[in-house]
Amino acid sequence: MTTQDRGILRDLAAWLTSLGLEKYAPAFAAAEIDGDSLRELSDEHLKELGLPLGARLKLLKAIRDQGAAAPSPSRTASSPAERRQLTVMFVDLVGSTELALTLDPEELRDLLGAYQDALGAEVARYGGHVAKYMGDGVLVYFGYPQAHEDDAAIATSLEAEAQAEQSGALFARAEIQRRQGVVLVLLRPDAQDEAEAAFQRALATAREQKARLWGLRAAMGLARLWTERGERRRAHDLLAPIHGWFTEGVETRDLKEARALLDALN
């Protein structure tokens, strides 16, 4: 087998994985299916490969709708080898076993559907890719099919918030949300709306928990973002009253930074 052939098979296996059909990759390899022949596959061909009806329908739809995304020999041959950092995250729903024992099947199905939709939306918001839903588990890739240098940082911030939820350590939730905003500001210049939303969530959480220091930090992050957009008055009006909460500890680092930012906005 040539290097090009191996590259095509790797691309094909990755594509099947993205569809949740990775277990059929060996059958495709044994039949020497490549990018060109993939587009010619019919239902009868897939039957010969041993695919059940559901998998056949899913694959045929993917070929029709996303034919351009299917592996092709020309793209594999012309693209140089590339090393990418892939961050893989697995998430499952805590307490799902207990839920299965207490809920009706229809209720459990609706709950899992809502959970998967919510998680899928968050993953997409941070540029990730849901590789597969497995019952109450979700396999997520950051760095595939689209690579970002900051994928590990984004995945870590998501994981931190999930761990806080799971462990009950919600006292740090606002700070974790603020750091998500900081990561997006620094590493994703095209995701400023998402960064603003993260700071807003952090500020709302801090207010709910009456965590003034976390609220000050979130407000500074949001004020800096607005200042960069030219919304200086809005930034000042947000930060000034929050800074005014503090009557002690004015020499601490956070309060000094807040005071300096307010002076620059005046």
3-state secondary structure of 139: strand
Task: Please give the Cα distance from 20 to 55 (Å, whole number).
Answer: 9
Encoded amino acid at 256, one letter = K
pLDDT, tens digit, 9 for 90 and up, residues 100-154: 777 788 887 877 787 777 777 777 766 778 888 777 778 888 776 666 555 555 5
Residue ranges of the domains in the chain?
3-78, 87-142, 169-265
Nearest partner of 180 among 157, 156, 164, judged by Cα: 157
What DSSP assignment string belongs to 46-110? Answer: HHHTT--HHHHHHHHHHHHHSGGGS--HHHHHHSPP-----EEEEEE-TTHHHHHHHS-HHHHHH
Reply yes or no on domain 169-265 having CATH 3.90.550.10.
no
pLDDT, tens digit, 9 for 90 and up, residues 8-45: 445 666 677 777 777 777 777 777 777 677 778 888 88
Look at domain 3-78 and name its CATH class: mainly alpha
Q: What are 129's strand-pairing partners?
A: 141
